[in-house]
Structure 1
């Protein structure tokens, strides 16, 4: 027995010296995850910008030559533009470029929108900015920015949902989306609404703004930029950067997506509470928001051209600290994706049909659990996050 003692003495100091090693070893993994995050943020915003350019082209063609075909092409371009943008919402909620004091989030994607603030509604053909040339003789991008959410959060005059309303109109159908006719943009006897030229000017201006704001977001994350947000982000202490990443993921999963966008509509059973109510595209908003969270966690993003941006994901950081917790997050992410894909389409029917409501609620609970899991990840890394919506 005595000869074994020196060996034990030799092992103990070595073990003590080795203890801090995992913390030191994980820093490069954290930094690699930060790089991947910034790369995916840029690619997602660049895709949002590119699809907005295509939307702009389709809208310009439509207003120059309104027809059933050009109208449909503009709608399809709007739907295509939503696909990458929905995946960028994970970059919100921590004061990044999208929603810092000067950020354009409220100009890009504000909702719900009071239709009567923008254009005619059923029962009131003379309402809205479009039908008020006396007060607003010229429709410009500056005017639309000035009027956005003036006096009320629902006074939305800019962004994706203003464009959506101008393309689809109000949705009065249980099974179909809004049915605004293309003739709303035609002057003369064939026209179906007053002020078609102003409506066209509004649609062009609001789309120009969309492109302008997405250009700024793309530039903020551009790896070619020297003094932009990407450079600032990558210079952060790794834990401070990962805290931001987890905050965006946690707030989106638990509060914005599960709460504001899904549970509120489920609870009220009212399509006025759904995110893309005019086009009935809310199911895709839910899918793309959840996918955006997965993109960050897994470290991979599929671009609109089919190519892939990938690198070290947040999962590698979590796996190095707590493999069981990483497995839990991956399971929650897979479950959420499966449950979201089971939600009845259109979403405004999923929230009222008795046999379909449970699927919505199941996805809500899983997304809430996923948000809580991101808070556990933060704790495992030695800091905390708040998954509630900012005031």
Structure 2
């Protein structure tokens, strides 16, 4: 469903002569507090993401029921808001948790990319492209069809999730200066409609949003408190093992995923379709939410309030390593913020330009943050198997 993660050269995990403390009762108690706080943070973040998706779905239902320029604009605004909330959750991946685990592998339905737009709907020069316009192959557009066809013909044959909805709302981004500009009349019946199969397009958009809601709710339920679920198992395991998973999620996202797949690939190819949210031009905010989510986890931060986090645990063993990790994460956040929007213009700018330099600086800063997290793992005598 996704490209293979790019391997990054990481500094060796630092070594320390200090006792890691895992045999000390008070240290393990503090580590358990970090694990408990992490579970609380994850639950709160997925609940917020689910609520954002619900608000988007409400706007979407209003648009489908009464297509207009105004209702389409409201749905786009709701998508962007919900997307920002989801971006903060991506740090909870990469250790076979509820969003990644087989058999459903929900992340592939929720957030797979890059996608071949022509797999879903018409594109420039191909008026009959996609599932929506293939009446013979797909007489009925159903939830089962969307699930079955997701990834059925290759990693870019994406039929569900955030980016399928994004494409249906914005259309192809054919502008050098802004996002896609799909007309609202694509969803209006003839004779006013501007594209064929308007009812099927409305059905597709509605079903994809409903599926996204259900999938996000399943992940949120797996992390909810007071149930016999993944969260209960997570907090009950040895705290060192749990913290190893936390760090694996953080370093995998900052390194191979963000610095590598999501930024270096697009930087090297200069291709608009290699950016994450290429239809809406929201990629710069996607990246920012991702690195902010990593920083929040390191400091146990929920709704802006820091709590029992890795920072305080690491500081007990090596204050310098903690200070370095804190500084590198903050520097990465600042570097990502400094990328001029939209991201596609920045990667396509001339070599030596401030825009290209800002993207490269953010990539380098994310690599340094990843190296700092590897050092954190070293202090805690945790081995990270990073790609």
Q: TM-score range by the shorter chain?
A: over 0.9
Q: How does 1:18-97 map to 2 (within 5 A)?
A: 23-97=24-98
CA shift, 1:22, in A, is 8.0
Match for residue 300 of structure 1?
Answer: 301
Alignment gaps of 5+ in structure 2: 1-18
TM-score (norm 1): 0.91
Identify the match of residue 347 of structure 1 among 339, 343, 346.
Answer: 343
1:179 aligned to 2:175?
no
- The number of residue pairs the alignment matches comes to 365
Offset at residue 140 of structure 1 (A): 1.1
Asked whether the 8 Å contact 1:118–1:128 carries over to 2, the reply is yes
TM-score (norm 2): 0.92
When the two chains are superposed, the root-mean-square deviation of aligned CA atoms in Å is 1.4
- Take 1:183 and 1:99, find their aligned partners in 2: how far apart are those partners? 37
Query: Which consecutive unaligned segments of at least 5 residues does structure 1 have?
Result: 1-17, 303-307
Q: 2:359 and 2:20 mapped to 1: Cα distance?
A: 46
Partner residue in 1 for 2:164: 162
Deviations 1:284-319 (A, max 9, x none): 0000000110110011132xxxxx564201111111
Quick check: which has more Rg, 1 or 2?
Answer: 1
Inter-partner Cα distance in structure 1 for 2:197 and 2:20: 73
| Compared CA separation, residues 20 and 229, structure 1 to 2 (3 A) | closer
Shift in CA distance, 20/152, structure 1 to aligned 2, threshold 3 Å:
closer
Whether the 8 Å CA contact 2:20–2:380 is kept in 1: the answer is no
**Residues in 2 aligned to 1:111 and 1:120: alpha-carbon distance in whole angstroms:** 18
CA contact (8 A) 1:166 1:203 kept: yes
- What is the match of residue 7 of structure 1? none
| 1:210-267 Cα shifts (integer Å, max 9, x gaps) | 0000100110110132x11110000110110000000000000011011111111001
* Aligned equivalents of 1:19, 1:135: Cα separation in 2: 60
Structure 2 counterpart of 1:3: none
Tell me what 2:373 maps to: 374
State whether residues 40 and 309 of structure 1, in contact with CA within 8 Å, keep that contact through their aligned partners in structure 2: no
For residue 180 of structure 1, report the CA deviation from its aligned partner. 0.2
